[in-house]
């Protein structure tokens, strides 16, 4: 079995050997740019880990891993246009560095190239199923993004609706990557399905963790501004849970805060955080995240795979979800 | 064999039965809207005609026909954003009716659904090849669109570069549709390839015809403003041929006209048309279009298909390219 580090480095080598060095550069240079901004390479590494549970010839899974990474980056490019985000991983977004039209068209070609790499898979007999699952989770990402947009202006969003949205927008692609790795390696349908569920659960836990870190994280390691969601009045798991548990005074206070755009953003962040603290939101969110984490671990343990082979995946899940003290 | 009319009506029935009546409506309603604006349904009908050269059970080719129509409309949605076009087929474009973000995201999901319909094809063994050709021509469309954008600001564009651009942007998708219909019907590789070439040639002829009609068409039947390309200073086949054949005085005059944005657009259209007339551009463009048309007919005649079965496709080609008197 490969270490996570070894899988990531094999993947990075494959990326390097498969750069978008095509013409016209106006179309493909932005693709190279966004793909080389870095990031955890979470989806491709998880796909390779899923494959590696069953098989050692990692090479056969690299095109699929690349397809998932290309799709993920495509979705970031188009989302960043929609969100008018100037920065991604600390660097200019494509529409900021070039222009919106470049962001649209280079994004489109990325989506097409994700399919191209899936079609490069040598095991031709599994291609229809691999493409079907990819198509399903790709559509889920768009649907999740639309719900996310809808929620911005929705009067009321239930916690259930929110969890469904993050499942679609974030967790589905991770689930698809897990399923694809296992399917490519010839795993049983039951194992493929369990790894899909693992992806959904870990992906949802991961997004809940992101919500928690936005308020309770450490600025030095979080990589984003603490309180960013609060400033933007985002309906996160924390906010929705707080609204659910608040008494009428607290609810009014929270609703006022989360419809305001004050000059003193730090004071707003502090007030909202104070309300979260009164309502025990950090603990409740941690608990919910841990529920998903536990389900994910159970998904792994129900695989037809010996326990010690599961350790690397358990460790990755653990490291994604480090508790905030 | 089915008539063109019968194929179109089978296709429209299939579209009606496969409307995008999914949730959330904010994402899928715009897809229904654009698909129902009408149009010739050229790509799906050609795909079905290609299939029908070999087989009668048209039903089996409907998902692929729909996929090509969805992709074509996806490309219109994103192109219209890039071109800031307010109207499409006389109705508001998606970004105009809704907003740009809706245009981006609904477009994305259309591209994904084009693949979904290709994956619905029942003959599973041809799916990898059908998807490969679709992926190739889809990327071609993006590449062609990028060249088209580049040409807007390019100092010099050769006629050869222009013909390559319209092959990528317009003809490739028609070629892919022809190839796919034949492949689905079990045609030989040679026939598939000939039908692909037919699509490239007829698609290129069709775009040349569009360039000609922009100046020499009949306003009542053209459906667009006569001289629209001239007003927009587009480097069409007519302009590039005129620049090639002009003496230095004429070239200077044309270059000045085609970098101007005068208030009196009609006078500009008249002056440019006058120059075209002096240089015999209409006849030259007709000749070039007829060359491609002839090549397309030859592609058909080299198929392993009896001559009388080719008549409907020849008629469609003819009707697309009706001579301007």
How sure is the predictor about A90, in pLDDT bands with cuts at 50, 70 and 90? confident
Cα separations in angstroms, B25 against A139, A168, B21, B102: 14, 16, 8, 11
How sure is the predictor about A324, in pLDDT bands with cuts at 50, 70 and 90? low
> Which one of A112, A124, A142 has the shortest CB-CB distance to B142?
A112
Q: Specify the pLDDT at position B324.
A: 58
Contact assignment for A108 to B111 by CB distance below 8 Å: yes
Instruction: Tell which of A30, A142, A164 to mutate to test the B interface (max B CBs under 10 Å).
Output: A142
| A-chain residues near B119 (CB < 8 A) | 128, 131-132, 135
Q: What distance in Å separates the CA atoms of residue A89 and residue A105, rounded to the nearest whole number?
A: 21
Q: Specify the pLDDT at position A321.
A: 87
Q: How far does B77 lie from chain A, in Å, by closest CA? A: 11
Q: By CA distance, what is B99's nearest residue in A?
A: A82
How sure is the predictor about A322, in pLDDT bands with cuts at 50, 70 and 90? confident
Q: Specify the pLDDT at position B173.
A: 98
Q: What is the pTM of this model?
A: 0.96
Interface pTM, i.e. ipTM = 0.96
| A-chain residues near B115 (CB < 8 A) | 115, 131, 135
Contact assignment for B139 to A27 by CB distance below 8 Å: no
- The maximal CA–CA distance of chain A, rounded, in angstroms, is 62
- Contact of A106 with A31, CB cutoff 8 Å: yes
Q: How far does A59 lie from chain B, in Å, by closest CA? A: 20
Q: Specify the pLDDT at position A248.
A: 97
Q: By CA distance, what is B82's nearest residue in A?
A: A101
Question: By three-state DSSP, how is residue A191 classified?
Answer: helix
Mean pLDDT of A308-321: 95
Pairing of strands A91-92, A87-88: antiparallel
Give the N- to C-terminal CA distance of chain A in Å, as an integer.
Answer: 33
Contact assignment for A111 to B113 by CB distance below 8 Å: no
| B-chain residues near A135 (CB < 8 A) | 112, 115-116, 119
Q: What distance in Å separates the CA atoms of residue B231 and residue B272, rounded to the nearest whole number?
A: 10
A194-253 pLDDT, tens digit each: 999 999 999 999 999 999 999 999 877 777 788 999 999 999 999 999 999 999 999 999
Q: Which of B233, B272, B236 is nearest to B153 (CA)?
A: B233
Name the helix (H) or strand (E) containing A87: strand A87-88
Contact assignment for A119 to B128 by CB distance below 8 Å: yes
- The maximal CA–CA distance of chain B, rounded, in angstroms, is 62
Q: By CA distance, what is B83's nearest residue in A?
A: A101
Q: What distance in Å separates the CA atoms of residue B152 and residue B224, rounded to the nearest whole number?
A: 20
Instruction: Tell which of A67, A106, A112 to mutate to test the B interface (max B CBs under 10 Å).
Output: A112
> Which one of A27, A113, A138 has the shortest CB-CB distance to B112?
A138
Q: Specify the pLDDT at position B174.
A: 98
Contact assignment for B119 to A131 by CB distance below 8 Å: yes
Q: Specify the pLDDT at position A323.
A: 60
Q: Specify the pLDDT at position A325.
A: 47
Average per-residue pLDDT for chain B: 96
Cis check for the bond before B24: say yes or no (omega within 30 of 0).
yes
Instruction: Tell which of A77, A104, A130, A136 to mutate to test the B interface (max B CBs under 10 Å).
Output: A104
- Contact of B201 with B234, CB cutoff 8 Å: no
Identical fold for domains A1-163 and A188-325, yes or no, is yes
How sure is the predictor about A309, in pLDDT bands with cuts at 50, 70 and 90? very high
Q: How far does A55 lie from chain B, in Å, by closest CA? A: 24
**Structure token digits, residue A30:** 């932005």
| B-chain residues near A101 (CB < 8 A) | 81-82, 149
Domain A1-163: what homologous superfamily?
Farnesyl Diphosphate Synthase (1.10.600.10)
Question: By three-state DSSP, how is residue B263 classified?
Answer: coil
| Neighbouring residues of B228: CB distance < 8 A, sequence distance ≥ 6 | B214
Question: By three-state DSSP, how is residue B46 classified?
Answer: helix
Q: Specify the pLDDT at position B143.
A: 98
Contact assignment for A105 to B143 by CB distance below 8 Å: no
Q: How far does B232 lie from chain A, in Å, by closest CA? A: 19
Contact assignment for A109 to B27 by CB distance below 8 Å: no
Cα separations in angstroms, A74 against A112, B72, B105: 10, 20, 12
| Contact residues, chain A to chain B, C-beta under 8 Å | 24, 26-27, 78, 81-82, 100-101, 104-105, 107-109, 111-113, 115-116, 119, 124, 127-128, 131-132, 135, 138-139, 142-143, 145-147, 149-150
> Which one of B82, B108, B132 has the shortest CB-CB distance to A142?
B108
> Which one of A27, A149, A150 has the shortest CB-CB distance to B142?
A27
> Which one of B108, B115, B142 has the shortest CB-CB distance to A105?
B142
Provide the 10 A C-beta neighbour count for residue A282: 16
Q: Specify the pLDDT at position A4.
A: 97
Residues of chain B with pLDDT under 70: 323-325
Average per-residue pLDDT for chain A: 96
| B-chain residues near A24 (CB < 8 A) | 143, 146-147, 150
Domain A188-325: what homologous superfamily?
Farnesyl Diphosphate Synthase (1.10.600.10)
CATH code reported for the domain at B1-183: 1.10.600.10
Q: What distance in Å separates the CA atoms of residue A254 and residue A247, rounded to the nearest whole number?
A: 10
Q: Specify the pLDDT at position B218.
A: 86
Burial class (CB in 10 A: 0-12, 13-18, 19+), B319: exposed
Domain edges within chain B: 1-183, 188-325
Q: Specify the pLDDT at position A60.
A: 98
Instruction: Tell which of A101, A145, A147 to mutate to test the B interface (max B CBs under 10 Å).
Output: A101
The number of C-beta contacts closer than 8 angstroms across A and B is 100
Cα separations in angstroms, B79 against A18, B34, B75, B214: 28, 13, 6, 19
């Amino acid at each position: 079995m490969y270490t996570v580090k070894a899988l990531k480095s094999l993947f990075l080598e494959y990326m390097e050997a498969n750069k978008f060095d095509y013409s016209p550069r106006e179309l493909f240079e932005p693709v190279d740019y966004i793909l080389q901004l870095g990031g955890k390479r979470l989806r491709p590494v998880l796909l390779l880990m899923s494959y590696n549970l069953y098989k050692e010839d990692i090479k056969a899974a690299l095109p699929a891993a690349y397809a998932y990474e290309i799709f993920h980056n495509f979705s970031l490019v188009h989302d960043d246009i929609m969100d008018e985000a100037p920065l991604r991983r600390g660097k200019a977004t494509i529409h900021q560095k070039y222009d919106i039209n470049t962001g649209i068209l280079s994004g489109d070609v990325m989506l097409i190239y994700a399919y191209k790499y899936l079609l490069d898979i040598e095991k031709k007999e599994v291609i229809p199923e691999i493409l079907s699952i990819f198509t399903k989770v790709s559509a889920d990402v768009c649907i999740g993004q639309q719900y996310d947009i809808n929620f911005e202006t929705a009067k009321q969003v239930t916690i259930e609706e929110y969890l469904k949205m993050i499942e679609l927008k974030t967790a589905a692609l991770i689930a698809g990557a897990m399923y694809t790795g296992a399917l490519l390696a010839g795993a049983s349908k039951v194992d493929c399905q369990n790894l899909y569920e693992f992806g959904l659960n870990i992906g949802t836990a991961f997004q809940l963790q992101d919500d928690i870190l936005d308020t309770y994280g450490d600025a030095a390691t979080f990589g984003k501004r603490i309180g960013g969601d609060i400033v933007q009045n985002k309906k996160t798991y924390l906010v929705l849970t707080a609204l659910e548990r608040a008494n009428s005074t607290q609810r009014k206070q929270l609703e006022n805060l989360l419809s305001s755009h004050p000059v003193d953003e730090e004071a707003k962040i502090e007030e909202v955080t104070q309300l979260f603290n009164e309502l025990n939101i950090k603990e409740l969110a941690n608990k919910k995240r841990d529920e998903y984490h536990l389900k994910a671990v159970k998904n792994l343990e129900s695989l037809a795979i010996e326990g010690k082979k599961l350790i690397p995946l358990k460790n990755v899940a653990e490291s994604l979800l480090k508790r905030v003290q």
